Structure 1
């Protein structure tokens, strides 16, 4: 059992492309990495794709973003995850976070911690949910509005609230919040909900796409407007818009510790298709 670096994005797609296309929602994080890799210059490769060389078993992959220090793990066994940790550590790669299936993700983190001498912690336990048909809630006079530059201050306020609610142990600079707003506005992927009274009550965004699906995130409702069905209306409307534009499915990652939001997504037609864990790999003992 040995891991190797794919020499190019094309080589990775030739090796794993069929599996990625067969289950696009399950591999949405990898499709996001592929999109970033396509924008990289040949002499500045930030996204690296690794595959397992083992003809006796399924051949999982792993994706490392060198700039972010992040790792995305394909579904793999505990032994494969442990061998991946040893391999990446030997390559001198620095990691700060990973996302993978719970058993393999924890196995990797424990092996990485043993090799590096640095502890790890669980950041989030998540469900991956998928929708192919929307159960549309009554908009109750509200409407989804695409976020533009005119909405920047509002969008940044909502992004700050989202980060504070979802990642209380993390700190995000204003520069990071502004950069996220830039991406949402510049890519026409940020959306706001305005209720019948004209109040701006929440946001959601399309954070990545695959050839035939869209992945939603950044679902946030301002505290004083919660428990009124706005999140369901916005997620339902945005999901329907993606399907009408030709996508075959939508997906989103949810926090398993937040049953309220999970119930919202189920109400509009999302179903759970997987479980993931997000881990923080610290650089200090």
Structure 2
């Protein structure tokens, strides 16, 4: 058997070559499918990327995507192909910011990469992957969901920054975050939504990364002083129902498995747990 790697110069080339493979396990591959779809909608989104497929006797057996400076995203593949992928990456990058993939696969990649490149790795989050096909709306929650508008941008930008700090331990400038929010509001497949209680904005949720049959729900955030009243559950349920009404067969989302509250909430409104994904970050300073 002959194992080879093919790299792609553009997201369109990557889509045409690998989407049929990725769609065989659509839920597991929502990041690669969604990021490429968004990139094609916003061509200036990324200036550098690693886009590759691994082949066994001509058939695709795995893919990898890294839109710098973001971590490497691994498709489902046999761990035997990790060495081949790292051999290719090794010729291009002295260091990478991290890697995300199923538990066994990401662990194997981290063990190999840290030994060869000397970067230390930290397991930053274990995420739960969920899929929804029908919504069970929560009862007795005040308010209603609406699409965000231009006058919501300053508040949403602040909420996005707070969300990134709290959930992802990441930070971004206010100007960059405002631009990101404005970009999302310009396209229905990247929209942000607000839960509104008598004119007061109390929670948000968004969608992004459309796939052939689904879309990912993300950016779920409620300010600390507004928590415990069911606003996030109601907002996510309403957004998910809207996506199904628009023709999506599925909604997907990731949770932090260290947060039992959010995992319980999503299951109560209809999200079904599919498995875990590890997110590792590498220490660039030690590369």
TM-score scaled by length of structure 1: 0.89
Q: Deviations over 1:52-89 (max 9, x none)?
A: 12239871111122x32431101123332233123201
In the other structure, the counterpart of 1:161 is 162
Conserved? CA contact 2:213–2:248, under 8 Å: yes
Deviations 1:88-135 (A, max 9, x none): 012336521221111211221222222222212111110110000001
Inter-partner Cα distance in structure 2 for 1:90 and 1:79: 19
The unaligned stretches of length 5 or more in structure 2 are none
Residue 29 (structure 1) aligns with: 31
Q: Which residue of 1 aligns with 2:182?
A: 182
1:181 is paired with a residue whose SS is: helix
Alignment of 1:100-179 (within 5 A): 100-138=101-139, 140-168=141-169, 170-179=170-179
Residue 222 of structure 1 and its aligned partner are, at CA, apart by: 1.2
In 2: Cα distance, 1:92 partner to 1:121 partner: 19
What is the CA–CA distance in structure 1 between the aligned matches of 2:10 and 2:168, rounded to whole Å? 34
Which residue matches 1:240?
241
Question: Higher mean Cα deviation, 117-126 or 135-144?
Answer: 135-144
- Name 1:272's counterpart in structure 2: 273
3-state SS of the aligned residue for 2:27?
coil
Q: CA deviation at 1:45?
A: 6.7
Q: How far does the alpha carbon of each residue in 1:138-187 deviate from its partner, in whole angstroms, 9 at most, with x for none? A: 3634111211111112112211221122023x333223322332222222
Ranges in structure 1 where 5+ consecutive residues have no aligned partner: none
Q: Say yes or no: does 1:79 pair with 2:101.
A: no
- Match among 3, 19, 26 for residue 21 of structure 2: 19
CA RMSD of aligned residues (A): 2.4
The separation in 1 between residues aligned to 2:147 and 2:85, in whole angstroms, is: 42
Q: Provide closer, same or farther for how the CA distance between residues 173 and 16 of structure 1 changes in structure 2, counting only shifts above 3 A.
A: same
Instruction: Confirm whether residue 255 of structure 1 aligns to residue 256 of structure 2.
Output: yes
CA distance in 2 between partners of 1:23 and 1:16 (Å): 12
Following TM superposition, by how much is the alpha carbon of 1:283 offset from its aligned partner in structure 2, in angstroms?
A: 1.1
Give distance in 2, aligned partners of 1:105 and 1:46.
22
TM-score calculated relative to the size of structure 2: 0.88
In structure 1, C-alpha distance between the alignment counterparts of 2:43 and 2:215, rounded to whole Å: 22
